[in-house]
Amino acid sequence: MPTATDFKDYYAILGVDKNATPEEIKRAYRKLARKYHPDLNPGDQQAETRFKEINEANEVLSDPEKRKKYDQFGQYWNQVSQGAAPPPRGAGVGVEGFDFDQYTDFDSFINDLLGRFGGAGRTRGRTSYTYRTPTTPPVDTEAAIALNFSEAFHGVQQRLQLDNEIINVRIPAGAKPGSRIRIKGKGSPSPFSPQRGDLYLTIDVLPHPFFQFADDNIACEIPIRPDEAVLGAQIQVPTPDGSVTMKVPPGVRSGQSLRLRGKGWRQPQGGRTDLIVKLQIVTPQDISPIEREAYETIRANTSFDPRTQLQEIKL
């Protein structure tokens, strides 16, 4: 049975207030998961331990039912979640005046304090409870796992430590933020039988410096020169599995997006989504005398005025 020294303040671990909204909890978790992810801190045991605590805290606080039990029962919330009786009123975090050490095991705690599974009788001045074993279904468990873009795109084999158990998990290719994976028989057992529930893993994908998610697709930004924007060009664009040639039509605008079909994210059922390429026209800072002369010639001979529509604007 847990004691006050076993208690973990999940709010403090994530650095949020007890009244934090689900969105605030999610933002705090993602920020800390990125900071302490083992891939970004190789060989750092403290970062690995912190990462596990962050995932444990998020597992509880991101689940409305678990959070409610945690807020109500403190360190005893998990026993309540597994079908065991709750502690007596006021036995939350930091409660004084109640000696939990008098119980040698959790069965004694249930038998002496709740007795809700059978009748009660008197024996020599003290109340003793007898109970029959209830039929309690196994408990499903939820956990969170953070992947980098490559792991999520290609799929990966991961080793997870849940409590004192190491679990090997195969994450299929194409996992996205918020994806849930069910692992049969790796949840919590029923307190009254060896049967176990299932483990549900929620996927978070760490940010990538070039690619971003755009709904089901992914997106990136590509710089192009002014002459490429005016005349059109054939340019090389990185995709998750190598560069491809993309045609830029003449007269594109800065900020305009083009679509590379079938070059986006992997889909679990097979196939690929699209890659959205946003064009950004970049002007050169240092130009040669020949380039300057060419730009001056264009300026002297152009009839294009991009500000014509502004001439009638006034208050």
For the segment 84-129, what is each residue's pLDDT rounded down to a tens digit?
Answer: 555 544 444 344 444 555 555 555 555 555 544 444 433 333 444 4
Length of the chain: 315
Which pLDDT score is estimated for 80? 56
Query: How far, in Å, CA of 239 to CA of 262, rounded?
Result: 10
Is 27 buried (19+), middle (13-18) or exposed (0-12) by CB count in 10 A?
middle
Query: How far, in Å, CA of 76 to CA of 72, rounded?
Result: 9
Decide if 145 contacts 158 (C-beta within 8 A). yes
The torsion region of residue 127 among left (phi > 0), alpha (psi -120 to 50) and beta comes to beta
Report the candidate in 102, 78, 100, 103 with the shortest Cα–Cα distance to residue 91: 100
Report the candidate in 112, 132, 134 with the shortest Cα–Cα distance to residue 123: 112
Does the reported pTM lie above 0.75?
Answer: no
DSSP 16: -
Which pLDDT score is estimated for 260? 97
Q: Which residues contact 259 (CB under 8 A, 6 or more apart)?
A: 274, 275, 276, 277
Question: Greater confidence, 118 or 83?
Answer: 83
pLDDT in tens, 161-178: 877 788 888 999 999 999
Q: Which residues contact 166 (CB under 8 A, 6 or more apart)?
A: 159, 160
Domains in the chain (CATH in brackets) are 4-81+84-129 (1.10.287.110), 141-205 (2.60.260.20), 212-303 (2.60.260.20)
List C-alpha distances in Å: 174 to 33, 60, 210, 281, 310: 20, 26, 17, 32, 47
pLDDT in tens, 244-299: 999 999 999 999 999 999 999 999 888 999 999 999 999 999 999 999 999 999 99
Residue at 245: amino acid letter: T
Residue at 153: amino acid letter: F
Which pLDDT score is estimated for 68? 85
Question: Greater confidence, 55 or 225?
Answer: 225
Which pLDDT score is estimated for 131? 46
Residue 190: other Cβ atoms inside 10 A: 18
Which residues on neighbouring strands pair with residue 224, listed in sequence order? 281
**pLDDT over threshold 80, residue 193:** no
Report the candidate in 27, 49, 26, 28 with the shortest Cα–Cα distance to residue 38: 49
pLDDT in tens, 203-255: 999 999 999 999 999 999 999 999 999 999 999 999 999 999 999 999 999 99
Residue 235 half-sphere exposure, CB side, CA atoms within 13 Å?
A: 23
Q: How confident is the prediction for the chain on average, in pLDDT? A: 81
User: Average pLDDT in the 63-77 region?
Assistant: 78
Q: What share of the chain is helix, strand, coil (3-state, %, to 5)?
A: 30, 25, 40
Question: Greater confidence, 52 or 190?
Answer: 52
Report the candidate in 63, 75, 35 with the shortest Cα–Cα distance to residue 51: 35
